[in-house]
Amino acid sequence: MTSILTITGWNLIPESLLPHVPDAQALDYRPFNHMDDVARCCLRYNQSWDIIIGWSLGAQIACRLVAQQVLHPKRLILIAPPFQHVQANGTEYGMAPCVFESFRNAYAAYPEKTLRKFALMNHGSTQMAKYMQTMLDENMSHHAHWLWWLDELGRFSCHDLDFKGFPPTTLIHANDDQVVSIHQIKAFQKVLPDYKLVMLDQGGHVPHLHDRDLLTRVIATC
Instruction: Return d(Cα 160, Cα 147) in angstroms, integer.
Output: 22
Instruction: Return d(Cα 76, Cα 195) in angstroms, integer.
Output: 9
**Average pLDDT taken over every residue of the chain:** 91
What are the tens digits of pLDDT across the range 132-181? 888 888 888 899 999 999 999 999 999 989 999 999 999 999 998 988 99
- In sequence order, what E strands does the chain have? 4-7, 25-26, 51-55, 75-79, 169-174, 195-200
**Positive or negative: CA dihedral 67, 92, 10, 216:** negative
11 pLDDT higher than 90: yes
pTM: 0.94
From 3.40.190.290, 3.10.20.30, 3.30.2010.30, 3.40.50.1820, which CATH number describes the 4-220 domain? 3.40.50.1820
Query: How much is the pLDDT for 115?
Result: 87
Instruction: Return d(Cα 219, Cα 222) in angstroms, integer.
Output: 5
Nearest to 121 by CA among 106, 108, 142, 143: 106
Q: State percent of the chain over pLDDT 90.
A: 66
Query: How much is the pLDDT for 133?
Result: 81
